[in-house]
Amino acid sequence: MKLKRKNVGAGILMVVFTVLFFVLTSKFFLVASSQSAEGVDLIEYGKRKWMKSDVLDAKRGTMFDRNGEVIAQDIPSYSVIAILDKKYPNHIKDPEEAAEKLSKVLDSDKEDLEELLSKEGRFQVEIPSGRKVSYRKKEQIEKMKIPGVDFLRESRRYYPNQSFAAHVLGYTGNGEDGVQTGLMGLEKSLDKYLKEKDGKISFVGDAFSRAIPANKESITPPKHGQDIYLTLDEKIQLYLDEAVQEAAKKYKPEKITGIVADPKTGRILAMSNSPSFNPNKKDIKNYTNFAVSYPFEPGSTMKIFTLAAAIEEGKYNGNEVFQSGSYKLPNIGRPIYDHNKRGWGPITYNEGVQNSSNVAFSKLVREKLGYEKYRSYLSKFGLDQKTNIDLPNEKSGSILYNYEIEKVTTAFGQGTTITPIQQIQAATAIANGGKMMRPYVIDKIMDPETKKTVLSNEPKVAGKPISEKTAKQVRDILETVVTDGTGKPYMIDGYSVAGKTGTAQIVGKDGKYISGWGENVFSFLGMAPKDDPKLLVYVAVERPKVEFPEMGSTPVANIFTSVMKSGLQYLNIQPEAKVNDKSSKVKKSYGKELPDYTGQSAEKAKSDLEKLGMQVSIIGSGNDIINQEPYEGAYVMKGERVILRTSGDAKMPDVKDWSYMDILRISKLLGLKETITGSGFAVKQSIKPGNPVKEGDFFVVQLEPPKVTESETDAEEEENAEETGSSEEPSEEEDLPVTD
């Protein structure tokens, strides 16, 4: 009986298991054929569960100067994360210890960090004070070997020269997709070229996102942004930025703008504004690029183009005499005055240009040229339209030319407004034999992987308003402005400068011109060397804080002379004949042409150079010269420094009292990466005298101006008083505009 019961039970179990087997088998085949269960797509579920992916970082396009130096680039940054999930092999094991170590590097509160690292139910947390830390801090944290601490690699936009051409380059920010987006300047206008697109890698991974071997990866490669090559020259831009910052710090003006251009091509070599900002910090107070977006009354720099028009039309006789001081127009109550109100008595038109006589230029337009003819030249010089420079937000000024008084005042730069870049374009015609060149800053755009040029710019003639003969005559006359007229502060030893000063009044909120010492826009538009200009420089300073007798033009002259001289020397433009202050036609040769000393004995070369009055520095432990600065064939003047590099190890000399140019020369000779702060002569150096140096070392030098004695200060005040002709501040009478 018992056996029978066992057999029945076994049979029942066999039937049950058989049914279960068929049910499960049927379910298996059903799932296998439909690839779903309970309405869930098992293929998609598996992909979500086991397919892992990582982002392949793309890089935003790099910006370079004209010599291939990086001026804007993506660099890696790191965000610190902490893994809290105890199931993960590498997690935070001791929150208190981890918080103590991290707080020292990240400058965070230890208790706050410990609380964050002790959170339950979180796989990982990001340390707030550890966002986008530098590689140096990452290394410091890694050396602590804190279990559970890891890093997310990101990239950020970096501008190695800090506030370098900030309004030209602009800056970036994170867009909605997390990818950097240009928000200002070229970063914004060229965003479609610069923008990157991240790639992706997909793979089968375990629960900890580790790739399972023998499984094929799927890769979508990243698309890097395209590289931008600009016409800016890093050295010249740094010269301009430094000079502008020094003037801003000392004189605290409302605005400063400066432009350096190659007049033969229209390439913009430097462009700077104040107030400026550091795009790495985004400490922005001024978003306007004054050089292209700020039209204002130019003042007497406008007289350059009035003079050119009169000469081109054969209406200018420089030796003709007129009565300076004031000029009364029919049916207009108040006369036009010269800037000193009294004038200089009967003078020639050439003297009128030198003294920046408003009366002279009023008479030229009204009595010689005629209003309609003069108006046509304003168009020929492009002063009534945008230049179409490849920078965003360019504005055009307004030619005020409805009434007779407006036509006359436009001749000397009042009423009518134009931008600095319009003046630069127009002045290229004076510097370039009559051919006016369109300004531009983008040289080319290249694909970084294929090296294919996507976009390329070439010099473009924007017009020919005057002849080569007229251009030369204008330059000759403008040279006398510098040697004999209002432009004396703009003279540069060794180089002939042609240019024109400008002092324009500013319209206040009440619609009237502001009066008072220094309450003007002071400017200078100049080129050098005069006979074959290599650089064209415009500088304008608005309302500098100056006390009588210091001239409002002083910061302009400081910027112009510093930038022009440094730029010409950097370009290896040899000094020319020295100009006699009393006659630009009388010149005498000076300076010595430096021979090639390579291969010669250092002591012999030093002896020969010292006999010529040169300062000589020898660097190197050997006897034979292998290199020199300045280069062979350069003209050097008595008292200049010549640096001779010999064979053997190099040691840093004591550069105290060395000039800015001397520091550049030694840096070039030894291949150093120099950073020069201040102006004047060297007082501090980062590499101590006698220490060995090698190519690529960083060399920081601080300059300070020489101390001025009491007697020198008195002499300078006398000179300023002579230039102004009076110690009185400008009159507050509401006469017609007064400008130099």
Q: Is the torsion defined by CA of 731, 365, 360, 487 positive or negative?
A: positive
Strand partners, 507: 513
**Model pLDDT for residues 69-85, shown as the tens digit of each residue:** 999 998 887 888 888 88
Q: How many domains does the chain have?
A: 4
Q: Is the pLDDT of residue 87 over 70?
A: yes
Under the banding of pLDDT at 50, 70 and 90, the label for residue 723 is very low
**Average pLDDT for residues 288-295, to the nearest whole number?**
96
Q: Are 597 and 644 in contact (CB under 8 A)?
A: yes
pLDDT at 58: 78
Which residue is it, tokens 């020198």? 712
> Is 300 a residue of the active site?
yes
pLDDT at 35: 58
| Strand ranges in 99-145 using DSSP code E only, listed in sequence order | 124-126
pLDDT at 172: 92
Same domain, residue pair 175 and 113: yes
pLDDT at 20: 74
Q: What is the CATH number of the domain that holds 637?
A: 3.30.10.20
Same domain, residue pair 382 and 407: yes
pLDDT at 90: 87
Under the banding of pLDDT at 50, 70 and 90, the label for residue 203 is low
Which residue in 163, 272, 293, 300 is the catalytic one? 300
Q: Are 191 and 181 in contact (CB under 8 A)?
A: yes
**Could you count the other beta carbons within 10 Å of the beta carbon of residue 283?**
11
Q: Give a yes or no: residue 69 inside a domain.
A: yes
Same domain, residue pair 635 and 698: yes
Q: What is the CATH number of the domain that holds 250?
A: 3.40.710.10
**Could you count the other beta carbons within 10 Å of the beta carbon of residue 308?**
29
Q: Give a yes or no: residue 138 inside a domain.
A: yes
Q: Is the pLDDT of residue 484 over 50?
A: yes
Give CA–CA dist 554/250, Å, rounded. Answer: 11
Which of 59-63, 169-173, 342-346, 725-729 is predicted least confidently?
725-729
Q: Are 511 and 558 in contact (CB under 8 A)?
A: no
The chain-wide mean pLDDT, for the chain, equals 84
Under the banding of pLDDT at 50, 70 and 90, the label for residue 586 is very low
Q: Give a yes or no: residue 64 inside a domain.
A: yes
Provide the phi-psi class of 220: left if phi over 0, else alpha when psi is between -120 and 50, else beta. beta
Q: Give a yes or no: residue 550 inside a domain.
A: yes
Q: Is the pLDDT of residue 618 over 60?
A: yes
Q: Domain ends where: 230, 253, 274?
A: 230
Between the CA of residue 497 and those of 224, 243, 521, 565, 582, what are the distances in Å? 46, 19, 21, 10, 15
Same domain, residue pair 9 and 73: no
Q: Give a yes or no: residue 499 inside a domain.
A: yes
Q: Give a yes or no: residue 415 inside a domain.
A: yes
Q: Are 552 and 522 in contact (CB under 8 A)?
A: yes
Choice between 407 and 715, residue whose per-residue pLDDT is larger:
407
**Average pLDDT for residues 662-681, to the nearest whole number?**
80
Choice between 549 and 143, residue whose per-residue pLDDT is larger:
143
Give CA–CA dist 9/153, Å, rounded. Answer: 67
Same domain, residue pair 345 and 414: yes
Same domain, residue pair 35 and 114: no
The enclosing H or E element of 403 equals none
Q: What percent of the chain has pLDDT over 70?
A: 82
Which residue is it, tokens 């840093």? 652
Give CA–CA dist 394/381, Å, rounded. Answer: 17
Same domain, residue pair 127 and 276: no
Q: Give a yes or no: residue 456 inside a domain.
A: no
**Torsion angle of alpha carbons 490, 265, 503, 499, nearest 10°?**
40
Same domain, residue pair 572 and 625: no
Under the banding of pLDDT at 50, 70 and 90, the label for residue 554 is very high
Is residue 500 helix, strand or coil? Answer: strand
Query: Which tokens sit at 93?
Result: 């094991």
Same domain, residue pair 600 and 581: no
pLDDT at 349: 96
Q: Is the pLDDT of residue 712 over 50?
A: no
**Average pLDDT for residues 409-419, to the nearest whole number?**
95
Q: Domain ends where: 170, 196, 230?
A: 230
- What is the residue range of 616's domain? 593-704
Q: Give a yes or no: residue 34 inside a domain.
A: yes
Range list of H helices, 234-380: 234-251, 290-293, 303-312, 349-354, 358-363, 371-380
pLDDT at 72: 94
pLDDT at 368: 96
pLDDT at 52: 53
pLDDT at 283: 87
Same domain, residue pair 388 and 272: yes
Closest CA to 681 of 664, 705, 697, 662: 705
pLDDT at 711: 38
Q: What is the CATH number of the domain that holds 162?
A: 3.90.1310.10
Give CA–CA dist 32/275, Å, rounded. Answer: 71
Same domain, residue pair 290 and 400: yes
Which of 39-53, 234-248, 279-293, 584-598 is predicted least confidently?
39-53
pLDDT at 709: 40
Same domain, residue pair 83 and 23: no
